[in-house]
Amino acid sequence: MAGLRGAAAIVGVADEVSPTGELDTTGHALEAAVIGQALEDAGLTLADVDGICHTASSMDMAEYLGIHPTFTDSTMTGGSSFEVHAEHAAAAIAAGLCEVVVSVYAATPRSDRRLGRSGRRGPVDNSNPLFEWELPFGVRLPMAPYAMAATRHMAEFGTTSEQLAQIAVSTRAWAGLNPRARYREPITVDDVLASRPECSPLHLLDCCLVTDGAGAFVMTTAERARSLAKPPVYVLGAGTCHDHSIISQMPDLTTTPGVISGARAMAMAGITPGDVDLLMGYDSFTITALLHLEDLGFCAKGEGGPFVEDGKTGPGGSLPMNTNGGGLSYTHPGMYGMFLIVEAVKQLRGEADARQLESPEIAVAHGSGIVLSCMSTLVLGTEATL
């Protein structure tokens, strides 16, 4: 599966977050701001853009910007949407449909809540099985489905709350090195276990944040990338798979479709998990990150608990994971997958300041969407990996 390897590169990234968790702008204005920053990062302008990706409406976004793209993608797979956008953009660029693609995301749930801008849930849709077969039982979204995955993993494999907590602890240690992170003070396993129970077995500190945030990436051909402002970060491999939409339809709550997306992306890239210098693995909850470690092949199924126990995913560990502080401590506006890509690119370029890894060459951004439903894996590499 040679596929897309090396055909396209990410040449610009930007994200907007705040340690307060709130941003001053919202909506298309915030999206436009972060697009502008990502284009500036790349040394390109809006006039260069001929492809647009947006999770709500790529048409509305393009109209707002006043551009007339020849590649358009409104794919919405929840938090993994931006890995899917990157996959589609690389394919479109490789096929010659377009040359410069922008994907953008902005959401401001924290300030929306404070300012009373939050919308109400939409009308009951009798053709949506979520309304008929899950919500009547009091399913709290998105937390409860992940809690049920954790319960099942514990029952099948003996995984403990302490092991899950260690993921939050290691991730917080990374956040301590990132001045833009929402929470930076170190925490302990006991702190996580003592935080209030939400949906058992998950505690508050097993859960991602609710913050404002925005991000964008710019992708172009490998050839054009080499003439731009920053070192290109090449798309080496990409893969996507979903095996359910609502949690009661998930075939096995301990195994995500990341098994398939990850294997496809790594085969396309020609790598194995041992080649990965940085894993940006979507951590909506501690259990989410643990499932990624198993399903991407960093450890065997069922061994995620013992694998993380020694803190190897934290600073100085053998498998750096979520070096920006993750959804657990950096930011989580709702669909966090964009921030996985932004951090992976910054690390591969050597722009990660105090948390910078030593000369990383290969990073994996692994997005997880809805309720463990859609996994999308992106393998990114420096010039040296081509």
Partner 1 sequence: MSAATPPSLPLRFEPPIGPASGPFWEATRRSQLVLPWCVDCGRPFFYPREVCPMCFGSAIEWRPATGNGVVYSSSIEHRPPPVGFSMGKPFVLALVELEEGVRLMTNVVGCPPEDVEVGMEVSVTWEALSDGRQLPLFEPAPGGSAR
For partner 1, give the closer residue by CB, 24 or 156.
Answer: 156
By the rule CB under 8 A, 212 interacts with partner 1: no
Q: Cβ(80)–Cβ(369) under 8 Å?
A: yes
**Sole window of 52-60, 111-119, 193-201, 346-354 interacting with partner 1 (rule: CB under 8 A):** 193-201
Angle at 113 between CA 112 and CA 118, to 5 degrees: 65
Residue 191 token pair:
């702190």
For partner 1, give the closer residue by CB, 165 or 276.
Answer: 165
Per-residue x/- mask for partner 1, residues 231 to 270, rule CB under 8 A?
----------------xxx---x-----------------
By the rule CB under 8 A, 126 interacts with partner 1: yes
**Sole window of 20-28, 136-144, 186-194, 286-294 interacting with partner 1 (rule: CB under 8 A):** 136-144
**Sole window of 53-61, 152-160, 285-293, 378-386 interacting with partner 1 (rule: CB under 8 A):** 152-160
| C-alpha atoms less than 13 angstroms from C-alpha of 13 in its C-beta half-sphere | 23
Rounded Cα distance, 280 and 379, in Å? 10
Shortest separation between residue 224's beta carbon and partner 1, angstroms: 44
By the rule CB under 8 A, 136 interacts with partner 1: yes
For partner 1, give the closer residue by CB, 148 or 278.
Answer: 148
Residue 306: φ, ψ to 5°: -60, -30
Residue showing tokens 């409104």: 74
Q: Which of 45, 118, 188, 200 forms a contact with partner 1 (CB under 8 A)?
A: 200
Rounded Cα distance, 219 and 310, in Å? 37
By the rule CB under 8 A, 289 interacts with partner 1: no
The enclosing H or E element of 50 equals: none
Rounded Cα distance, 118 and 374, in Å? 26
SS3 label, residue 34? helix
Exposed, middle or buried by CB within 10 Å (0-12, 13-18, 19+), for 19?
middle
Shortest separation between residue 210's beta carbon and partner 1, angstroms: 14
Q: Which of 34, 44, 92, 149 forms a contact with partner 1 (CB under 8 A)?
A: 149
Residue 213 token pair:
């945030």
By the rule CB under 8 A, 180 interacts with partner 1: no
Residues that bind partner 1 (CB under 8 A): 124-127, 129, 131-140, 144, 147-149, 151-152, 155-156, 196-202, 247-249, 253
